[in-house]
Amino acid sequence: MTEDRRITVVDTTLRDGEQTAGVVFANYEKVRIAKLLDELGVHQIEAGIPVMGGDEQKAITEICKLGLKASIMGWNRPVIKDIETSIACGCDAVAISISTSDIHIKYKLQASRDWVIEQMTKAVEFAKKEGLYVSVNAEDASRSDHDFLVRFALAAKEAGADRLRYCDTVGILDPFSTYEKVRAIIDQVGIEVEMHTHNDFGMATANALAGVKAGANYVGVTVLGLGERAGNAALEEVVMALKYIFNYDLHFKTEIFRDIAEYVSRASGRELPAWKAIVGSNMFAHESGIHADGMLKHPHTYEAFSPEEVGLQRQMVIGKHSGTAAVRAKFAEYGIHLTRHQAQELLPVVRATAVSLKRSLFDKELVYIYEDYFGKRH
Ligand code: MN
């Protein structure tokens, strides 16, 4: 993908992320997360839902006052009072959200398609008159009738909306259908599109990227993919995939990815799994003999990018799957230079210990094994 495309990253950790069942951020945590996202380079931060009032409104106001480089967006229903509250908080941008699928219109809104367009149009016209940047969110867009979605998007454009947020609200898209649907909207409406994808089938990041490939210039994400149900597209995955798979460098300060992930993990009370893509502690841990041997010869044999780029460190893990090359390299770190023969002698003990403990070995345990084994013989 060429760099003349201008991709805008919209982080909604503080809105969709906090909507995760059971997650509540303290106000100071919301402020801290906004600062970290801004430091990283995120272009727009969806900070929350101003009309909720109380602490939510206070936190959003405080974030708006920080003077960050990022645009600060408030989430709104197509209701004038919601938008007025976003303005009162100091937001420069608003997301105006309404469902476009028949199942939502019929059962949730208990209204008609015409009513949906009317509400949206009125709200967008008001927000534009107030000088705000406007994203029109088509909730449940992926399950909406295509012709109606086109009509809705044309009406949004006509009313002055700056972009359409294409929401795969229940996460039912795959990258192939995403590409086709988003491409059709862009071709038929000629409006900027933001991808907002959910991970119910584990494809949130893939679908977000497919949308970008189809021409969406905005991509909505959350730290660690935090979000309703199975979550959203993960910020760190989208940024690194754009760089290494699409060859599109956002020039973000990616070295702080691990720090941001740890902070959001603690603040949300959600674990940060070792196997999490991009920022998990296992991303650069190597144990199996063949991999470790390759790694020692050249790190890129088994790594897509370097650990420092995301604030992690490479780890050589010694355990059941280790080979002699890794054992020798590990002992060399302690200043013990084993011959190949000594390493071969030690390896079965290392492996047996790992099996009996059902885990890899700590550095100290390795030294004890060495002392026991060679101490006995001399
Ligand atoms: Mn969502």
pLDDT in tens, 169-227: 999 999 999 999 999 999 999 999 999 999 999 999 999 999 999 999 999 999 999 99
Let me know whether 114 and 263 are in one domain. yes
Here the CATH number for the domain that contains residue 19 is: 3.20.20.70
Check residue 232 and report its DSSP letter. Answer: B
In a domain, 134, yes or no: yes
For 13, the token pair is: 């950790």
289 and 359: one domain?
yes
Tell me how far the alpha carbon of residue 235 lies from the centroid of ligand 1, in angstroms.
Answer: 14
Q: Same domain, yes or no, for 49 and 103? A: yes
Percent of the chain exceeding pLDDT 70 equals: 99
Cα of 62 from ligand 1 centre, angstroms:
24
Beta bridge partners of 165: 137, 194
The rounded Å distance from CA 204 to ligand 1 centre is 11
**Res. 376 pLDDT band, cuts 50 70 90:** low
The answer to whether residues 256 and 359 belong to one domain is no
Residue 275 included in any domain: no
Q: Do 59 and 154 belong to one domain? A: yes
What radius of gyration do the chain's Cα atoms show? Answer: 25
Q: Which residue from 126, 182, 190 is spatially nearest to 163, judged by alpha carbons?
A: 190
Query: Residue 339 corresponds to which tokens in the numbers above?
Result: 């011959």
Tell me which of 268, 297, 320 is where a domain ends: 268
Ligand 1 center to 217 CA (angstroms): 18
Find residue 10's DSSP bridge partners: 44, 220
Residues 87, 21 share a domain = yes
In the structure encoding, which two tokens stand for residue 90, read together? 């100091």
Model confidence band, residue 315 (pLDDT cutoffs 50, 70, 90): confident
Mean pLDDT of 153-173: 98
Residue 213 lies in a domain: yes
Is residue 32 over pLDDT 90?
A: yes
161 is a domain residue: yes
Q: Are residues 296 and 356 in the same domain?
A: yes
User: Under the phi-then-psi rule, with left for phi > 0, alpha for psi from -120 to 50, and beta for the rest, what region is 323?
Assistant: beta
Distance 357 CA to ligand 1 centre (A): 43
Q: Is the pLDDT of residue 3 over 80?
A: no
Q: What value does the mean pLDDT of the chain take?
A: 95
Determine the distance separating the centroid of ligand 1 and the alpha carbon of 132, expressed in angstroms: 22
In this structure, are 66 and 109 located in the same domain?
A: yes
Q: Find the 213 Cα to ligand 1 centroid distance in Å.
A: 21
Q: How far apart are CA 86 and CA 79, in angstroms?
A: 11
How many domains is the chain built from?
2
Please say which residue of 268, 293, 320 terminates a domain. 268
Domain that holds residue 331: 281-375
Predicted structure pTM score: 0.93
pLDDT in tens, 84-141: 999 999 999 999 999 999 999 999 999 999 999 999 999 999 999 999 999 999 999 9
- Judgement on whether residues 246 and 113 belong to the same structural domain of the protein: yes
Residue 82 and residue 134 in one domain? yes
Token pair of 170 as six digits: 């229940």
| Residue 2: inside a domain | no
Distance 143 CA to ligand 1 centre (A): 14
Residue 290 has a pLDDT of 85
Which stretch of DSSP H or E encloses residue 263? helix 257-268
61-85 average pLDDT score: 98
Q: Which of 205, 234, 268 is the last residue of a domain?
A: 268
363 Cα to the center of ligand 1, angstroms: 44
Residue 276 placed within a domain: no
